[in-house]
Amino acid sequence: MAFISVGIDHEHASLDLLERATVPEEGWGKVLGSLLANANINEAVFVSTCLRTEVYATIDRFHGAVDEITATLSDATGVSADELAAVLTIHFDKGVAGHLFRVAAGLRSAVPGEHEVLGQIRRALERADEEHAVGPELAELFRRSLSAGRRARHETAISRGTTSFAQATVSMAEHELGANLAGATVVVLGAGQLATGVVKSLRDAKVAPGRVVIANRTRENADALAHDANDERIDVVALADVAGVLGEARLVVAAIEAPAPLLNASSFTSTQGEVLVIDLGMPRVIDTDVDSLRHVRRLDISHLRDVVQQTLADRHVAVDAAAAIVDEEVEKFHEDRRSRGAAAIVGELRERLEQLRAQEMERRRHDFSSFTDAQRELVESLTRSLVAKIAHAPTVALKEAAGSDRGQRLTEATRNLFEL
């Protein structure tokens, strides 16, 4: 079996396409089930975030698997297979580990070194495990990617400074609003991981807002976030009642998942003064019709690029150092996989040879009936030694070629020759 990854990401696809191809977590189980129903896919993990929708799998046939994964993604997202195919990023076998390890380290993120991706990868693995879609090979790949991601952040400066969408969002708001953010009312839609980061970044911002209002569907989650943030400037309202606080808002940050826009131009007709709206939702949570309002300025994930470019400039050395760590971890993973692969076939070969030796000894047992115990042990020792010598050359060849095309051919030949 070989690894494959097929998907779209912010480096190759437009924000509009990424938005349409995002699958909420409640739909992941159905996607995984559809993937495993295909003939060429043995294991699968599905990753879908605001800037990445990808399938990782172990497969039998490359081209067949690519077609099956593309068709599954098309069915799950409603995006045509042709539109997806034009921007698909595909990695095969050894290249999959290199790609996934870089994703986990934040080297493929819009904000280099961001922490959210580690949680997203971990959750994707957990969900695949819950759906019985992942086996030992793919699970080990994901666990090692998480370890590589943590090491890259621990041993380099890639995770220092602006390292998340939340921090980048607040940095952008500070840049856009300047002193006008001081003492202002900020409304944050959502109470999940991204919203939590936004609220805490606002709490710690150099230009401090006067009030931060959290609006969420589940009031209890918003209350828990406010309690955890532990700041008297933070209030909570139900999402249904957010209109009552929009009138005084200077900044609105949408960090919530919804199938359709929650706010539109009519939501801002009563606002006092200019309003900056930052929509982090995928799909968008703030309807683009707000662009028609002269007093409202809407920004989204695509506008974070200026912040990201500055981050890249400041973190060039750290990015290179993290990439070197990832390369090292990828090579270790491949070495370990080669060793495991060789150990399996070598073990099967030796077990088969020992089985043949024992069967022949048992068949000829009557020929040794007159032997003493010492003589019988001598025969046993001699036959074992012969089997070991016969197995030595194949063992060396299999170990040396493990992980290569030659190794695959030798493994197949060994299985056929010895009926393994």
Q: How many CB atoms lie within 10 A of CB 403?
A: 17
**Catalytic residue status for 50:** yes
Query: Cα separation of 8 and 191, whole Å?
Result: 27
Q: Tell me which residue of 224, 143, 164 sits closest to 191, measured CA to CA.
A: 224
Closest-CA residue to 215 (of 193, 192, 187): 187
User: Using a CB cutoff of 8 Å and minimum separation of 24, what contacts does 178-182 make?
Assistant: 178/207, 179/207, 180/250, 181/205, 181/207, 181/208, 181/209, 181/250, 181/251, 182/207, 182/208, 182/209, 182/210
Q: Which of 113, 104, 87, 114 is nearest to 47 (CA)?
A: 104
Smallest CA-to-CA distance from 163 within 121, 106, 203, 205 is with: 106
- CB distance 45 to 134 below 8 Å: yes
SS3 state of residue 141: helix
Asked whether 112 and 311 are in contact (CB, 8 A), the reply is yes
The CA distance from 195 to 187, in Å, is 11
Order across the sheet with 2-9: list the strands: 41-49, 52-59, 2-9, 89-92
Backbone angles phi, psi at 419, to 5 degrees: 55, 50
**What are the structure tokens assigned to 269, written together?**
């007709």
Asked, as a colleague might, if the bond just before 24 is cis with ω within 30 of 0, I would say no
Active-site residue identified among 8, 31, 32, 50:
50
- Cα separation, 226 vs 219, in Å, equals 11
E strands, 159-308, are 185-189, 211-216, 234-238, 249-254, 275-279, 296-300
Those residues whose C-beta lies under 8 Å from the C-beta of residue 328, and which sit 6 or more positions away, are none
Spatial CA neighbour of 176 closest among 251, 248, 249: 251
Query: What are the helix (H) ranges across 49-180?
Result: 62-77, 81-85, 94-104, 116-130, 136-155, 165-177
Catalytic residue set: 50
